């Protein structure tokens, strides 16, 4: 059926349907597509190889050798980097999945529409998870004006959402919402037991510009959403990341300058595991054309890295920046590593490789990537124009075979396709 509300998503659904029609999933066989080939056999730039999503399925997340994928009506799990998909289950809302996380033990937490699900037995079963408030009561999504647009309660713009802390895997993420899929309150969530329990870490206030009026992104009329007792408002969360040197989490939000104040904030949060309690402080609130409207927060050797998503009135304060965490609010102490010349809010750093992307609507490139293989000493930009106009986001850590996983979004956020990237290092 043609879905006029999500024209770009139609492309993904057609791709999946075409793959399913011509492919048979057989447990124990190599993955659909060409993933069993050596990296050198794939297309490449000077700095990395790349390969598109396998035919017939969308690989939504990965962790080590684990990979989670879906078709139009099924969810699938691999334990060998997508070479085979022995675990699968019927899931009628699969095409609505916009967030998933695989834990090291194989648990899979995933969302569809405004519901969150967990499987603990390699997709033999899955159950709905109800988020808990700090007082232990249930946090239940609002009743949407249009049931087809319940809001992106759990969608994340980032792929790195888990960290090993004191021997325990911890999941912390914020929802990127109020663009498509309906209006939603803005929250930061967490789990310390590999998805068995998901709780609210922080609730932003009620933003009068993103009420639930039944539209894709909300508007100035309709139900107010969010915490009525918190005056801090934003459109959505861009990123949450963890700094082990400080034992602290950093979050940044967007997007606009409002009469009530800025929506671009940086927050710093610490978690007391013994008391199961969070302490959050706003570090800075800034205009949308500044370096503080950003994403791609990474911590390497105690240093803070991020990439600017600045837009709005010129001049734009853009680039990849680095500083000591205590100097975040002191621009004069920031080091500009590279300015790609366009807005971007997505970046990952792993094993000395920095990989970031262009926001397609603002870029001269069709599908633009920014890369450094030496921690920012040298840089390059590449246009994978064969994918059309796409905004790469949701960068996942490399899998067991060294491939990053990346979403390709139509416009800047509408789900479309994905691909894998393997740096040419070593």
- Yes or no: say if 114 and 124 are a contact pair by the CB < 8 Å rule: no
Look up the pTM and report it: 0.92
Output the tens digit of pLDDT for each of the chain's 426 residues: 222 223 333 344 333 433 333 222 323 333 444 445 777 899 999 999 999 999 999 999 999 999 999 999 999 999 999 999 999 999 999 999 999 999 999 999 999 999 999 999 999 999 999 999 999 999 999 999 999 999 999 999 999 999 999 999 999 999 999 999 999 999 999 999 999 999 999 999 999 999 999 999 999 999 999 999 999 999 999 999 999 999 999 999 999 999 999 999 999 999 999 999 999 999 999 999 999 999 999 999 999 999 999 999 999 999 999 999 999 999 999 999 999 999 999 999 999 999 999 999 999 999 999 999 999 999 999 999 999 999 999 999 999 999 999 999 999 999 999 999 999 997
CA distance 27 to 86: 4
**Taking a C-beta distance cutoff of 8 angstroms, is the pair 205, 232 a contact?**
yes
Alpha-carbon separation of residue 318 from 72, 250, 265, 294 (angstroms): 39, 20, 16, 9
Q: Could you give all domains of the chain from N- to C-terminal order, each with its CATH number? A: 7-423 (2.120.10.30)
Distance in angstroms (rounded) separating the CA atoms of residues 86 and 80: 10
Helical H runs in 160-273? Answer: none
- Alpha carbon dihedral 425, 412, 250, 186, in 10-degree steps, equals -150
| Vertex 181: Cα angle to 129 and 152 (nearest 5) | 35
């Amino acid at each position: 059926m043609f879905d006029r509300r999500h024209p770009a998503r139609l492309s993904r659904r057609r791709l999946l349907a075409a793959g399913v029609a011509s492919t048979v999933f057989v447990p124990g066989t190599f993955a659909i597509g060409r993933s069993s080939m050596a990296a050198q056999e794939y297309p490449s730039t000077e700095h990395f190889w790349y390969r598109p999503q396998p035919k017939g399925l969308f690989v939504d997340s990965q962790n080590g050798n684990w990979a989670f994928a879906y078709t139009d009506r099924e969810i699938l799990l691999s334990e060998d980097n997508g070479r085979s998909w022995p675990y699968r289950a019927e899931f009628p809302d699969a095409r609505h999945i916009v967030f998933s996380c695989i834990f090291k033990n194989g648990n899979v937490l995933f969302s569809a529409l405004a519901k969150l699900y967990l499987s603990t037995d390699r997709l033999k079963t899955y159950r709905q998870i109800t988020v808990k408030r700090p007082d232990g009561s249930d946090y239940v999504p609002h009743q949407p004006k249009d049931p087809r647009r319940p809001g992106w309660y759990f969608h994340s713009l980032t792929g790195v959402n888990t960290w090993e802390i004191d021997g325990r895997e911890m999941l912390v993420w914020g929802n990127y919402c109020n663009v498509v899929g309906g209006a939603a309150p803005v929250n930061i969530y967490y789990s310390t037991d590999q998805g068995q329990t998901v709780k609210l870490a922080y609730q932003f206030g009620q933003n009068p510009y993103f009420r639930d009026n039944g539209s894709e992104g909300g508007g100035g009329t309709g139900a107010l959403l969010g915490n009525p007792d918190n005056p801090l408002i934003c459109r959505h969360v861009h990123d949450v990341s963890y700094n082990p040197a400080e034992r602290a989490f950093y979050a940044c939000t967007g997007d606009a300058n409002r009469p009530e104040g800025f929506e671009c904030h940086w927050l710093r949060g610490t978690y007391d595991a013994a008391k199961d309690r969070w302490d959050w402080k706003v570090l800075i609130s800034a205009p949308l054309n500044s370096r503080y409207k950003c994403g791609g927060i990474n911590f390497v050797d105690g240093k803070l890295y991020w990439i600017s998503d600045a837009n709005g009135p010129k001049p734009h304060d853009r680039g990849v920046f680095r500083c000591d965490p205590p100097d975040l609010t002191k621009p004069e102490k920031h080091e500009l590593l590279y300015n790609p010349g366009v807005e971007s809010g997505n970046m990952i750093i792993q094993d000395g490789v920095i990989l970031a992307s262009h926001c397609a609507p603002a870029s001269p490139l069709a599908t633009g990537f920014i890369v450094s293989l030496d921690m920012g000493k040298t840089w390059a930009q590449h246009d994978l124009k064969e994918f059309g106009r796409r905004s790469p986001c949701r960068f996942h850590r490399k899998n067991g075979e060294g491939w990053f996983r990346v979403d390709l979004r139509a416009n800047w956020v509408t789900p479309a396709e994905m691909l894998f990237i393997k740096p040419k290092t070593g």
